[in-house]
Amino acid sequence: MLYRTAGQFKTTYEADHALFPVRQDAILLGIILVVAWVVLPLTANEFAFKALLVPVLIYTLAALGLNILTGYAGQLSLGTGAFMGVGAYACYKIITIFPEVNLLVAIAMSGFFSAAVGVAFGVPSLRIKGFYLAIATLAAQFFLVWLFEKWAWLYNYSASGAIQVPTIEMFGVVVAGPNAKAITQYYFVLAVVTVVTMLAINITRGRIGRIWKSVRDMDIAAELVGINLMKAKLSAFFVSSYIVGIAGALFVFLWRGAAEPNLFDIPLSFRVLFIVIIGGLGSILGNYLGAMLIVALPVVLSYLPGALGIPVSSSMVEHLNTMVVGALIIFFLIVEPHGLARFWAVLREKLIIWPFPH
């Protein structure tokens, strides 16, 4: 009933190709945007911003980047964490060398560094496929993290080997550093994520997106119909690493405030990959759903025993949490291997024809 599509007639091709052929989709998106931009900032407290909302958005962005590579172009990568690191360190160097640069510009520029590194490590994808490629991207993962550790210039020769985010102002408002307000940071991240998501939707719907999908589905067949595989794969690596790099810069500058090299180690890569798989390969919406599940759920879960009044020690909660996350991953893979995004798709189908079963 809520989703009845009857009566919505399309009279032009443009209307049929629109982003939202179904009016209710647009309304729903509007509601979500209002919630994200107005309702949440009014209701959330500082902890919710710092431990739930901002990380979910940043992980969503990183997952979006990986999803373009893995979900759309079909190239499995386990090096996401390191590419995030490249973005973060590039942004740090830009900010410390040119302190007058606007943070937004610095973040946008740092994406190009990770994109370049991503393309360099993407070259083997022309010859190596499947799990072999996945392990090959681990070479990037381990090598880059080692480099972050050893190349003292990257962290300005600080004794601890960690980078610290200085206080950064933008248009008179403190956006990064210890004095930044959580709500400012939330809006900053939300704005970046919204813009990138819109761009990503359009790229993946368009010509390049279709090329990527054809490469994913069968690269030899794609080659036979005249698609330049090298261009297709490397462009996927470029766009993906660019977004991942931005996510890495946001990760450190707008959320963590400091970072040491092993922050970007393999667990981070796996975390982002979980989000992509659980959310749904080849889906933009899935990244959001996956990030909520993988990032926010453990935080929420750790409150559960306290809220229910069950006395458990914090380490026990943590153990149970790890177990639950592992079990949930298996559970969702079994119930819906195509990810949470497919859940929504099925639900939407049902809603459209409701109350009839078929």
Partner 1 sequence: MKRLAKTALLASGLALAAAFAAPAFAQDAINLPNLSYRTGPFAATGIPLMNGQRDYIAMLNARDGGVNGVTINYEECETGYNTEKGVECYEKTKAGAAVTQPWSTGITLQVLPKSNVDKIAVLAPGYGFSPMADGKTFKWAFNPPSSYWDGASMILQNISQGNLDSLKGKKIALLHLDHPYGKEPIPLLEALAAKHGFTFLPIPVGLKEMQNQSAQWLQIRREKPDFVLMWGWGAMNAGAITEAVKTKYPMNQFIGIWWSSLDGDLKLVGDAGKGYRAVSWSVPNSASKAMQDIKKHVVDAGKSMINQAEGEFDWVFYQRGVLISMMSVEAIKAAQAKFNVKVPNAEQVRWGLENLDINEAKLAELGMEGMIVPFKTSCADHTGHGGAWMLEWDGKQFVKASDLIKPDRAAIEPLEIEKAKEYATANAPWPLNDECK
Partner 2 sequence: MDFLNSILIKPFADMFGAPDFLMQVLWEGLVSGVLYALIALGFVLIYKSSRIFNFAQGIMVVFAALTLVGLHEKGVPAWLALPLTLGVMYLLAMSIERVVLRPLVNQPDIILFMATIGITLFLIGFGEIIFGGENKVMITEQLGIPTGSWEFEPFGGFLSIEQRDVTAVVGAVLLVAALLLFLNKSKMGRAIRALGDDHQAALSVGISLSTIWVVVWFIAGVIALATGIVWGSRAGVSFALEVIAYKALPVLMLGGLESVLGAIVGGLAIGILEKLFEIYWGQPILGGNTETWFAFVLALIVLLFRPQGLFGERIIERV
Query: What is the per-residue binding string for partner 2 in 245-284, x denoting contact by CB under 8 A?
Result: ---------------------x---x--xx--x---x---
User: For residues 168 and 200, which CB has a smaller minimum distance to partner 1 in the complex?
Assistant: 168
220 binds, among partner 1, partner 2, none (CB under 5 to 8 A by kind): partner 2
Distance between CA atoms of residues 232 and 211, nearest Å:
7
Answer yes or no: are the C-beta atoms of 353 and 6 closer than 8 Å: no
State the residue for tokens 């599940």.
293
User: Greatest CA separation found in the chain?
Assistant: 67
Residue 176 interacting with partner 2 (CB under 8 A): no
Q: What angle is formed at CA 22 by the lines to CA 21 and CA 26, rounded to 5 degrees? A: 100
Rule CB under 8 A: say whether 294 interacts with partner 1: no
| 93 vs 309: CA distance, rounded Å | 48
One symbol per residue from 231 to 260: x for binding partner 1 (CB under 8 A), - otherwise; what is it? Answer: -------------------------xxxxx
Kindly state whether residue 124 participates in binding partner 2, applying the rule CB under 8 A.
Answer: yes
| Secondary structure of residue 163 in the 3-state scheme | strand
**Residue range at the interface with partner 1 (CB under 8 A); choices 31-39, 154-162, 229-237, 240-248:** 154-162
Q: Taking the complex as a whole, how short is the minimal distance between the CB of residue 295 and partner 2, in angstroms?
A: 15
Q: How far apart are CA 240 and CA 219, in angstroms?
A: 18
Closest CA to 158 of 112, 223, 222, 93: 93
Question: Which one of partner 2, partner 1, none interacts with residue 304, CB within 5 to 8 A by kind?
Answer: partner 1
Note the Cα 226 to chain centre separation in Å.
Answer: 31
For the record, the structure tokens of 254 come out as 């707008």
Output the six-digit token pair for 182: 């959580």
Query: Which residues, numbered 40-59, are part of the site for partner 1 (CB under 8 A)?
Result: 43-48, 50-52
Binding residue for partner 1, selected from 101, 229, 301, 329, defined by CB under 8 A: 301
User: Which tokens go with 163?
Assistant: 């980078």
The four Cα atoms 163, 166, 171, 173 give a dihedral, to 10 degrees, of: 120
Q: Does 230 bind partner 2 (CB under 8 A)?
A: no
323 is an interface residue for partner 2 by CB under 8 A: yes
Interface with partner 2, residue 25, by CB under 8 A: no
- Supply φ then ψ for residue 77, to 5 degrees: -130, 135
- 266: its two tokens: 């393999």
Footprint on this chain of partner 2 (rule: CB under 8 A) = 70, 76, 124, 127-132, 135-136, 138-139, 142-143, 145-146, 149-150, 218, 220-221, 224, 266, 270, 273-274, 277, 281, 315-316, 319-330, 333-334, 337
Footprint on this chain of partner 1 (rule: CB under 8 A) = 43-48, 50-52, 96, 146, 149, 156, 158-162, 164, 166-167, 177-179, 256-260, 262-263, 265, 297, 299-301, 303-304, 306-308, 313-315, 317-319, 322
